[in-house]
Amino acid sequence: MILYFSGTGNSKYCAEFLAKETGDKIISLNELIKNNINVIDCAGEKNLGIVAPTYDMDLAYAVAEFLYRAEFWNVSREIYAYGVFTCGSICGDCADTLKKIFAYKNINLNASFVAAMPDNYVIAFKQKSEAAKKSKLEKADAALKEIAKDIQAHKSIFKRKGKLPGFVMKFIRRFIVPAQRKVKDFTVNENCIGCGRCARICPMNIIKMENNRPVWTRDDCACCLACLHRCPKQAINRGGSAKNGRYVNPNVNLEE
């Protein structure tokens, strides 16, 4: 079983790739979170994988919160539990956070891996060239092949990339993360056609359509930026995104 969370397709692509190699089924955490489904039945599962993005040098907030409240049923004592963390460059504390969550659930984290993918944080950074993104995706395929082999062999291996000092992470969790969850900086321009896609795909159910325009109803943003990147008219912006481009993984279908 592979549980994945994805805003722009990177983590979904990784989950699908690994599922094809390992034979495991995949389940969208976006859908579980959106529909308030908190039970994960692991009956008969030999593997339990979490594929999720890195936000603010840690496991995506929505994923961490879901895993803490989720109930894992019928978990075999021999189950191989692992995390695969997608990131633009570094994944910080993702592995440590997942290990703590699984320990709270009496599940042993056996391995963690890093999959470097094209960055989508256009709030602050401009998109790379198409050639650069294509090259990074090709390298990701090679890395995922090796990760799949390690999963199939049930290797106990912990790969981390860019772990930051504790005092830096405390600052990020206290000040940066709460700011990211606020929605006041989202704007909608005249390109909006009122299609409602943003509301449909928001995993936190915080976007409502009013007079054919999206309205963010509370400060509980997952910062997945799905609404921004997947708007068909690029009508949604936050921070410097208006000039920084958009990104959706070209090798995955996000509308399924």
HSE (side-chain half, CA atoms, 13 Å) at 57: 16
pLDDT digits (tens, 9 = 90+) for 22-55: 999 999 999 999 999 999 999 999 999 999 999 9
Tokens of 95: 């592995």
- Selection from 226, 186, 249, 252 nearest residue 33 by Cα: 226
User: In terms of C-beta distances under 8 Å and separation of at least 24 residues, what long-range contacts does 213-216 make, across chains too?
Assistant: 213/188, 214/188, 216/183, 216/186
CA 112 to chain centre: 15
pLDDT digits (tens, 9 = 90+) for 211-239: 999 999 999 999 999 999 999 999 999 99
**Alpha-carbon gap, residue 251 to 236, rounded angstroms:** 23
pLDDT at 255: 80
pLDDT at 256: 55
Tokens of 138: 């090709």
Crossing angle for the helix pair 61-69 and 94-104, nearest 10 degrees?
10
Helical segments of the chain, H only: 10-22, 29-34, 61-69, 94-104, 130-152, 166-171, 177-181, 197-201, 226-229, 241-244
Cα distances (Å, whole numbers) of residue 161 to 51, 138, 142: 16, 19, 17
Longest dimension (CA), the chain: 55
Using DSSP bridges, classify how beta strands 71-73 and 80-87 pair: parallel, antiparallel or unpaired: unpaired
Q: Kindly give the parts of the chain with pLDDT less than 70.
A: 256
Q: How many CB atoms lie within 10 A of CB 19?
A: 18
